[in-house]
Structure 1
């Protein structure tokens, strides 16, 4: 007879057996997963390496198929499948013709190519609207004759196509082309590509020759009077309100304290009042100009207005560099190169309208100028949609000793100079008015 205690123990034992079996099964599952994971880690690298080797071999073959070619292959496969499923002879004929077109196109890919290509732009730097010409010189540098082929030369957003004739060894062929310069930009010409392929554009094999060449299309600028551009009218530097013990601009006398340089003792006054008196000076600083050019697209009413703002900045900066004044120019994409007039104009050619890179204009000015030397003159250039409040927000970033001028570019507006709480605001609607406006501020 089984007691109650034995009946109770048996279910518990069975439960323990089931629990241990479940635990062992879970352990086996975890072990299997860990083994599978380890196996996967071991197998994946060789598989990836194998796939990389296969793709290296296959990519050149697949790369000759153009988008049109893939479309032809797709229609050929679909036509043959429909023919096999439904027995439609029309699709058999269509699929066969499409596949034959692909096969025949492959014959146009074969041929040697041993070219020496030289691309030259003359001049390399032009102003908007000036004439710029390019020359491409192709030479057969191989030991065998070359059949005729097509040469493509990317020029900016377009492509110039030239048909090369059959060329014997050492033969040269020259092609001239015009470069459009109706817009400020950096136009990249090249690299040149020799192209082989069928007339339908199913297959295409191209080889690159020569390096790309840059053409800088500079903005239109006007020549300003010397020193007017930087609003600097002194030779030694600008006098600030900061008091110092030794400088050039005399400020006042004060009693002598131990440690003062005796060279600055004013002996006549000291003898008259019976107490040593020393000179104090206003600190003079070397002129340092910072130009803040905002290129946010939403601050300009049109593309023409944006280009006018670029021309204003470039015109002032060019004269400042000629005057030998230290300067920095910043826009949302970084600091311009200002080592020379040419490098500055090259930088101006790269400036394009941008979105809202920084939350506010003040944040943009603060981030881009915080690592630059403290300026004595700050110029802000913005479009017609930039408010006076935004100009004033930038003004608060600099000290009271800093002269600040805002150029409010508004295409077609009447030129005028105004003052808003100590900030000089120049409204300019035409580049030809810039010389007179800047001369009016600096006088």
Structure 2
């Protein structure tokens, strides 16, 4: 196979260097005009051109009239695009955070910030997956117009309202020119939660200050003496014993537990029997996490998507709004838990939350990642099931069938 001459390669490179900037410039200039044509507009243009070609080939007057009407409709629609808007738009949501099912209202305040009268315009406001449309009247300079709207809060979510768009176009919808106003505003629809009694954190508090079997050189629970080795801290030398036996001896300690809770929320969709069961699991996790944060205990919550923010109860509830059913991002549940917790502090308590299709073997596979000194509780979310607490090889299994059962179940864990 013959090689392309170097001179030809240089020529093509030079042509490309000249042509590409021209193509980009033309594209930048033409695209804004092409964007104003709606899908219906492109259909009308296509039918008009087809009708024109057929009339030219076959000389059929009917297609000539059809082509003229269709193309004329597009030309007339162009005149509806002219005009410059000068709006000031303020979007407010009150309140910014609600619980599923609570009422949330929004307000859009539109003002004419220009020096000329503005004609009637349609304003579109995306609210979540929906779209609210408002017909604005003609507005004099500095005049304001207010629109109120309700925000659906039937599902846990982060609902984004805005940005609003003023729309110019013809009544047929062939051409459309829109301009964005204002910044989007977030509404956090928190999951339903139940308030747990302060005693519910007893599982965590009981661990504070308890000693483990791990031996350390620096703690408060004395264990034994051992011979001094170079590098030991001399503050822990036991001088009386050292003087009596003629050899330096240092203290050893048993490591005391410090409360650190890790909650592992499995959000894989195939682990749940229904959407309602998934929402129940989120509510259980959020309820327990909220109480632990109120009690001032260090904690982390992880799910397939990553780590939740847990600095405050509000931050945690905001993070819970973003949890969605996930696919198989990890080969196994154990792999997911290992990856998401490997950079976290060693926990004193691990809580695992999963759906009805998560087996005891799945819970135990996660349990095996942590040492015997770590207390572990599995929350098996089975919608409609009878609440119960059982023990399986060092793992306390708690079955939750309804959110209202959670306070009594947690009291049972700490009783």
Q: Deviations over 1:118-151 (max 9, x none)?
A: 0010111100000000000001000111111000
Q: CA deviation at 1:256?
A: 6.5
Residue equivalent to 2:354: 382
Structure 1 pair 97–234 and aligned structure 2 pair: CA distance change class (3 A): same
Aligned partner of 1:205 in structure 2 is 177
Counterpart in the other structure of 1:64:
36
Instruction: Report how far residue 106 of structure 1 moved.
Output: 1.0
Deviation at 1:227, TM superposition (A): 5.1
Cα–Cα, structure 1 residues 285 and 80, in superposed 2: closer, same or farther, change >3 Å?
Answer: same
Cross-structure match for 2:294: 322
- Segments of structure 1 that go 5 or more residues without pairing to the other structure are 1-25
For 1:349, which of 321, 342, 347 is the aligned residue?
321
Separation in 2 of the partners of 1:69 and 1:390?
A: 55
Q: Distance in 1 between matches of 2:200 and 2:210?
A: 14
Matched, 1:425 2:400: no
**TM-score (norm: length of structure 1):** 0.88
Question: Residue 180 of structure 1 is aligned with which of 143, 152, 167?
Answer: 152
Partner of 1:135: 107
Q: Is the 8 A contact 2:237 2:248 kept in 1?
A: no
1:301 aligns with 2:273: yes
Hey, what does 1:50 align to over in structure 2?
Answer: 22
Task: State TM-score, norm by structure 2.
Answer: 0.93
Report the Cα distance in structure 2 between the residues aligned to 1:210 and 1:263, rounded to whole angstroms: 65
2:124 to 148, 152, 161: 152
**Inter-partner Cα distance in structure 2 for 1:148 and 1:358:** 54
Q: Are residue 87 (structure 1) and residue 59 (structure 2) matched?
A: yes
1:238 and 1:376 in contact (8 A); partners too: no
Aligned: 1:310 with 2:282:
yes
Distance 1:375 1:266 in 2: 36
In structure 1, C-alpha distance between the alignment counterparts of 2:208 and 2:283, rounded to whole Å = 30
- The alpha carbon displacement at 1:282 in A equals 2.6
Judge which range, 315-324 or 224-233, deviates more. Answer: 224-233
Q: Deviations over 1:306-365 (max 9, x none)?
A: 000000000011111111111111111111111111111111000100110101100000
What's the offset of the Cα at 1:107?
1.4
Which consecutive segments of 4 or more residues in structure 1 shift more than 3 A? 234-238, 244-251, 253-268, 273-281
Closer, same or farther in 2 for the Cα pair 1:437/1:33, shift >3 Å? same
Partner of 1:22: none
**Structure 2 matches for 1:131-280, cutoff 5 A?**
131-226=103-198, 228-229=200-201, 231-234=203-206, 236-251=208-223, 253-254=224-225
In the alignment, structure 1 residue 440 sits paired with structure 2 residue 412: yes
Distance 1:280 1:44 in 2: 75
Cα distance in 1 for residues equivalent to 2:411 and 2:270: 30
In structure 1, distance between residues paired with 2:90 and 2:348? 48
CA distance change for structure 1 residues 230 and 372 in 2, over 3 Å: closer, same or farther?
A: farther
TM-superposition CA deviations, 1:252-283 (whole Å, max 9, x none):
x5567576868785979x99x99999865431
More displaced 10-residue stretch of structure 1: 258-267 or 367-376: 258-267
Q: 3-state DSSP class of the match of 1:231? A: helix
CA contact (8 A) 1:153 1:159 kept: yes
CA contact (8 A) 2:226 2:252 kept: no
**Distance in 2 between residues matched to 1:48 and 1:260, nearest whole Å:** 70
Gaps of 5+ in 2: none
2:356, 2:382 within 8 Å by CA — same for their partners in 1?
yes
State the structure with more CA Rg: 1
